Structure 1
Amino acid sequence: MSAEIAGEKELNFGQTVDAVQAVTPLLVLQNENDQALVAVCPTLQGRVLTSTARGTQGRSYGWVNHDLIASKKHLEHFNPYGGEDRIWLGPEGGQYAIYFAPGTSFDLDNWYVPAPLDIEPFEVAEQSASHVRLTKKFRQVNYSGAEFEIGLNRVVRVLPAHQASSTLPAELLQGVSTVAFESHNVLTNLGTQPWTREGGLLSLWIIGQFNASPSATIVIPFHAGPEDKLGTPINTNYFAPLDEQRLRVFDGYACFKGDSGYRSKIGVNPHRVTGRLGSYDAEHNVLTMVEHSVNAPDAGYVNSEWQLQEHPYAGDVANCYNDGPRPDGTQLGAFYELESSSPAAALAPGATIEHTHRTLHFEGDKARLDAIARAAFGASLDEIASALPA
């Protein structure tokens, strides 16, 4: 792994919280079990920075860029602070992009994350021991020159053990150490004009960054069926090409490397998406699952590919990203991402769209974790761990 990678420190949850709180405030949320802890950072857009299922001495699941946070510096294009659940807006690329100024080329030199989603704080509107609500208002212009007055409302909540999963039976999760949290995100048109497809639409986009490892494999279930009706199972038309050393597509699920050794991204379209994705770190025996909102396939999702697009509303619902070295040898960090998006939001003045993204981590007996993996992803732990070469 490149020595250029910043912020790579093996700290447990309590050490991570202490290190970050020395620089900026954190809110530590918990449910009825004091072992399930979630750290939220209001000054960093209300992101969930990290969590643990085993108390302050437990493993810290989120990737955290300690060096950048401690520096108190702002980088020009993007500040990769880390975090298991942060809010962005789509689209990233294309004629309706909000990460490229009008008329610029779609490359890293011209890619800028909007400041409200990158370095500006969110306001804490209310909080309790197990939840916090945060808000943000700002103005944004897209690549085509359309203007948006934006309101964001974000509730982060730690979930009680019996409600940890929205799709799996509670008894399946018994006997393992679990932390489960969700962000419920609301996007509002605060302007006086409607948002239209012709001018460009926005979407809620939730991104989780997790610690990369040579033993980490991302798993993405998808609805099986013919490509002429459902489209390709896995979209690889993002960054670098992928071969079977890094991506393998099976019947109903795919496995993707989470080793931060090669910069690449994949996606699942609205006809294929199941509302679940996750990963398994075989060395550390940690199983991760994300559950997210799923809408009708014809709802229309923004296309974030870095090019002018023939079909700007034929984007993916779920994405997975693996960081890796850039051409100059540097890279953002030793992380991979699990992401989900809402449909494109054609909102009248005052109207809203909502999106929920839930993250669960499990540690414990391998047989119990295996049962969860089979139910969630249609694959055993051994099938996931052996899918790709070490």
Structure 2
Amino acid sequence: MKAHYTAVLVMMVAATGCSSDHKSDQKKLETQQTQAAGTFGYDLAFLKKYKEAVVLAAPDNAEAQAIIIPAYQGRVMTSTANGDGGNSYGWINYKLIESGQHQPHMNGFGGEERFWLSPEGGQFSVYFKKGQSFDFENWQTPALIDTVAYKVVESDAHSVKFQINAMIENYSGKMFVIDISRKIQMLTKEDIANLLDLPALSGVKAVAYRSTNVVTNQDETWKPETGMLGIWLLGMFRPSDQTTIIAPFSKALSAKPLITDDYFGQIPADRLVVKDSVLFLKADGKHRSKIGIAPKSARNVAGSYDAEKGMLTIIQYDLDPQGQYMKSTWELHKDPYNGDALNAYNDGKLADGTQMGPFYELESNSSVKALKEGEAIKHRQSTFHFEGDKAALNAIAQKVLGVNIDQIGEIF
């Protein structure tokens, strides 16, 4: 009889615990659903309605969170430094996700870091089929980096790892057999300070994560004459009339900065300013423009500052100044391995008046190598967001990007 009462008591306690957990989860969901647009809680509730979402938090700060979607190739959709009610940093294409329909050419779901492969154009492109002209009608983002879900192979409260095996063919007819792995790891305040060479963080709220991306060759040796693959990471962020992209450059290997600024025609002078060692691009989502910086001129950091909301964003990525980088312009190339290490893009209306965004992008690329079977290329990128005291933000901007907040505000 005593054993029977004990069993009943255990069941009652367990049921009470489950009920309590359920109520807690339900209350959290209701709170998320009532958050205002533009907040992390709003975006979390929205994404959970349509896809499985992995939510990570920093080991030392539960308010610093990120949302990753396995169905979107392990894409980091958005993050926040301040919990459910905090600003949501990533741009999300609500209409496309809500529609449940796939689009021709590319599915621009959004997200502040997505995994792509390069090159986009040229004789080694994986976005155009052999013999096609390099026109928008023929451009097609491969399903591998557009609609295919990536499998979760490891996860905990602070990190998640994805893996997929695939085959992909380039414009020249070379078939690549590859393994892709991608891991997203939330960073602690100490990690942030160490990576950016900062003193202990104070006066700011911060969230940061690092992605480690690996492409392994599972077939015959890659050859320069038939093409190679690079890793390309692109982040889509929310613009404002007072947002500016900051891209520092180096003169150590090239006295003249190796900058490409005419991807979509000449950028007006009131939207692009190149100073002695830093480039500024207006990021208001109102004029389509793109810049690229070659590896010999690039630095391993870039960022943006939203003066309206007082938000500083920084990306830090692996850079090989002497490495080969795939060229991606939509044409056949005389020098296909002389591409950009860093790109930045401001969205705007197309010629027909339509627009996907508005958003702006910060992008980094890996160098490429003639991989033997079993060899791999690896590309890491860390994304940091800071909000808080202007003096504290200024100290970070000066240390990492070489500019001060007031200078950014006066550029345009």
So what's the TM-score if we normalise by structure 2? Answer: 0.89
1:274-313 → structure 2 map (5 Å cutoff): 274-295=299-320, 297-313=321-337
Letter in 2 for 1:329: G
1:120 aligned to 2:148? Answer: yes
Identity rate, percent = 41
Larger Rg: 2
1:175 Cα deviation after fit: 2.2
Letter in 1 for 2:410: S
1:171 aligned to 2:199? Answer: yes
> Does the residue aligned with 1:173 lie in a helix, a strand or coil?
coil
In 2: Cα distance, 1:109 partner to 1:10 partner: 35
Q: Measured at CA, do residues 300 and 231 of structure 1 come closer, stay the same or move farther in structure 2, by a change above 3 Å?
A: farther
Match of 2:276 among 251, 256, 264: 251
Match of 2:378 among 354, 357, 372: 354
Per the alignment, residue 239 of structure 1 pairs with 264
Contact 1:173 1:372 in 2 (8 A): no
Letter in 2 for 1:313: Y
Per the alignment, residue 242 of structure 2 pairs with 215
Q: Measured at CA, do residues 268 and 148 of structure 1 come closer, stay the same or move farther in structure 2, by a change above 3 Å?
A: same
Contact 2:193 2:199 in 1 (8 A): no
In 1: Cα distance, 2:119 partner to 2:127 partner: 8
In 2: Cα distance, 1:298 partner to 1:374 partner: 26
Per the alignment, residue 373 of structure 1 pairs with 397
Per the alignment, residue 133 of structure 2 pairs with 105
1:232 Cα deviation after fit: 3.2
> Does the residue aligned with 1:109 lie in a helix, a strand or coil?
coil
Match of 1:64 among 92, 98, 102: 92
CA deviation profile, 1:81-126 (whole Å, cap 9, x unmatched):
0111110000001111111111112121111100010011000001
Q: Which has the higher contact order (CA 8 A, sep 6+)?
A: 1
1:194 aligned to 2:218? Answer: no
Contact 1:166 1:291 in 2 (8 A): no
Contact 2:251 2:257 in 1 (8 A): no
1:11 Cα deviation after fit: 2.8
Contact 1:162 1:170 in 2 (8 A): no
CA deviation profile, 1:281-320 (whole Å, cap 9, x unmatched):
000100000000011x222100011111111000010110
Per the alignment, residue 340 of structure 2 pairs with 316
Per the alignment, residue 20 of structure 2 pairs with none
1:28 aligned to 2:90? Answer: no
In 1: Cα distance, 2:211 partner to 2:256 partner: 29
Which structure carries more helix by proportion? Answer: 2
Contact 2:185 2:209 in 1 (8 A): yes
In 2: Cα distance, 1:233 partner to 1:56 partner: 42
Aligned pairs, how many?
376
In 2: Cα distance, 1:166 partner to 1:343 partner: 24
Range 102-111 or range 230-239, more displaced: 230-239
> Does the residue aligned with 1:177 lie in a helix, a strand or coil?
strand
In 1: Cα distance, 2:125 partner to 2:76 partner: 25
User: Gapped runs of 5+ residues in structure 1?
Assistant: 1-8
Contact 2:215 2:377 in 1 (8 A): yes
Range 328-337 or range 165-174, more displaced: 165-174
> Does the residue aligned with 2:95 lie in a helix, a strand or coil?
helix
Letter in 2 for 1:352: A
1:166 Cα deviation after fit: 4.9
In 1: Cα distance, 2:191 partner to 2:252 partner: 31
1:51 aligned to 2:79? Answer: yes
1:225 Cα deviation after fit: 5.7
In 2: Cα distance, 1:247 partner to 1:58 partner: 31
So what's the TM-score if we normalise by structure 1? Answer: 0.94
Contact 2:183 2:212 in 1 (8 A): yes
Per the alignment, residue 135 of structure 1 pairs with 163
Contact 2:92 2:111 in 1 (8 A): yes
Letter in 1 for 2:47: V
Letter in 1 for 2:121: G
Contact 1:212 1:334 in 2 (8 A): yes
1:10 Cα deviation after fit: 3.4
Contact 1:172 1:371 in 2 (8 A): no
1:231 Cα deviation after fit: 4.6
In 2: Cα distance, 1:325 partner to 1:166 partner: 40
Contact 1:292 1:358 in 2 (8 A): yes
In 1: Cα distance, 2:287 partner to 2:171 partner: 29
Q: Measured at CA, do residues 301 and 164 of structure 1 come closer, stay the same or move farther in structure 2, by a change above 3 Å?
A: same
Match of 2:104 among 69, 73, 76: 76
In 2: Cα distance, 1:366 partner to 1:316 partner: 32
